[in-house]
C-alpha cells in the first residue's frame, strides 16, 4: 500500500466540492426550515399564552358579572318581597277594618232587635211576672 498524492488531492477536492454542494443545496434550506419552524412554534406559544390570559380574564370578568347579577337579583327579590309584605299588610288592615265595621253593624242590629224585643215584651212582663209570682206562691204554700 502506497500513498498516491494525486488520488489524495482529488479526494480532498471532491470532498470540498461535495461539502460546498451539500451546504448550498441541503444544509442551508434545512436550517432555514428549522428556523422558520422554531419561529412558528414560538409564535404559537405566544398566541397560546395570550389566549390563556384572555380566558382567565374572561373567567374573572364572568365571575364578577355573575356576582353582580346575583346581587342585583337578590336586591330585586328583596324589594318585591317588601312590596308584597306592604301590600299584604294593607290588605290585612283593610280586612280588619271591614271586620270591625261588620261587627259594629251586627252589634247595632242586635241592639235594635234587643230593643224591639224588650219593647214588645215589656208590657207583657208585668203580667208574666205577676203570674209567675202567683204560681210560685201557690206551689209553695
pTM to 2 decimal places: 0.45
Q: With 80 as the cut, is the pLDDT of residue 125 above it?
A: no
Q: What percent of the chain has pLDDT over 70?
A: 98
CA angle 52, 57, 59 (to 5 degrees): 95
Predicted confidence (pLDDT) per residue in 6-21, tens digit: 999 999 999 999 999 9
Cell 399564552, residue? 49
Predicted confidence (pLDDT) per residue in 55-66, tens digit: 999 999 999 999
Predicted confidence (pLDDT) per residue in 129-141, tens digit: 788 888 888 886 5
Amino acid at each position: 500500500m502506497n500513498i498516491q498524492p494525486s488520488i489524495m488531492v482529488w479526494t480532498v477536492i471532491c470532498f470540498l466540492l461535495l461539502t460546498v454542494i451539500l451546504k448550498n443545496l441541503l444544509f442551508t434550506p434545512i436550517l432555514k426550515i428549522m428556523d422558520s419552524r422554531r419561529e412558528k412554534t414560538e409564535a404559537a406559544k405566544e398566541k397560546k399564552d395570550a389566549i390563556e390570559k384572555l380566558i382567565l380574564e374572561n373567567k374573572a370578568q364572568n365571575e364578577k358579572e355573575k356576582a353582580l347579577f346575583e346581587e342585583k337579583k337578590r336586591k330585586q327579590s328583596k324589594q318585591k318581597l317588601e312590596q308584597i309584605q306592604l301590600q299584604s299588610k294593607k290588605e290585612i288592615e283593610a280586612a280588619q277594618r271591614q271586620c270591625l265595621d261588620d261587627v259594629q253593624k251586627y252589634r247595632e242590629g242586635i241592639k235594635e232587635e234587643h230593643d224591639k224585643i224588650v219593647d214588645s215584651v215589656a208590657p207583657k212582663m208585668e203580667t208574666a211576672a205577676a203570674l209567675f209570682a202567683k204560681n210560685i206562691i201557690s206551689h209553695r204554700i
